[in-house]
Homo-oligomer: A and B are copies of this chain.
Amino acid sequence: MPSSTVEDYIKRLYYEEQHAPGVLVPMGRLAEAMNVVPGTVTTMIKALADSGLVNYEPRAGVRLTDGGRKLALHVLRRHRLVELFLVQTLGFDWSEVHDEAEELEHAISDKVLDKIDALLGFPKADPHGSPIPCANGIIAHEPVQPLSSCIVGTRYRIARVLDNDAKFLQFAERNGLIPDAHITLVAKDESADALIITCHDRASSCTLGGNAATRIFVALPPASH
């Protein structure tokens, strides 16, 4: 059974690969993400390569193997089911659950996970809109784009809000920026690095910095035919 350290590396690697598909993940990138010095990553990656979870190309970078990707999705499944469980069953706020899930995802057995899955009605997404991988490792990939790359005037549906910043999640919730909310990008001020968006459910608008806008992912709403 992989240690929680191994699971964390693999999970991070999956994340990095998602955000830069097709290229090897450089060691420095991973070191920064994992908050360790580069030498530690080199050592660790060599061990992961030995256990068949990654392909390691010295001085070039690292890539998950199929086995590594499968493990990553399993960890992600635990993380996201736990997050939803904390919100739905235990009444946590969606801004609090990421850190809690970060611990619990390593301690939960498949048996407990299945029970939670059933209790929640086999959900498809976590509280932030991130898809929950199936037990067999299949994950839905909805075509989404960051709010920062959206077109002024178009109506969108919020698909996901990244979960790693509690303060931002609290702001988002206050302003109705939650998954499945419908919004329109009203204005985009490149020089001020600001976006103004309207939230249709509450007929209010709010202003977002460019950085915050990269944390919200939107999709086109279903065609109203």
Instruction: Please report A residues at the B interface, Cβ cutoff 8 Å.
Output: 86, 89-92, 96, 100, 103-104, 106-109, 111-112, 115-116, 119
Contact = CB atoms under 8 A, between A and B. Distances in A.
A119 B90 contact: yes
Contacts of A112: 86, 90, 100, 104
Contact of A92 (B90, B92, B96, B115): B115
Given A90-B116, A90-B119, A119-B90, A107 B109 contact: no
Contacts of A96: 111
25 contacts: A86-B112, A86-B115, A89-B89, A89-B119, A90-B112, A90-B115, A90-B116, A90-B119, A91-B115, A91-B119, A92-B111, A92-B115, A96-B111, A100-B109, A100-B112, A103-B107, A103-B108, A103-B109, A104-B104, A104-B107, A104-B108, A104-B112, A106-B107, A107-B107, A107-B108
Count of this chain's copies in the oligomeric assembly: 2
Given A90-B115, A100-B112, A104-B108, 12 more contacts: A86-B115, A89-B89, A90-B112, A90-B116, A91-B115, A92-B111, A92-B115, A103-B108, A104-B107, A104-B112, A106-B107, A107-B108
Contacts of A100: 109, 111-112
Contacts of A104: 104, 107-108, 112
A112 B92 CA distance: 9
**Ordered nearest first, which 6 A-B pairs have the shortest CB separation?**
A107-B107, A90-B115, A103-B107, A104-B107, A100-B112, A100-B109
A106 B108 CA distance: 11
A108 to B, nearest CB: 7
Contacts of A103: 107-109
Contacts of A107: 103-104, 106-108
Contacts of A115: 86, 90-92
Nearest to A90: B115
A10 to B, nearest CB: 18
A80 to B, nearest CB: 16
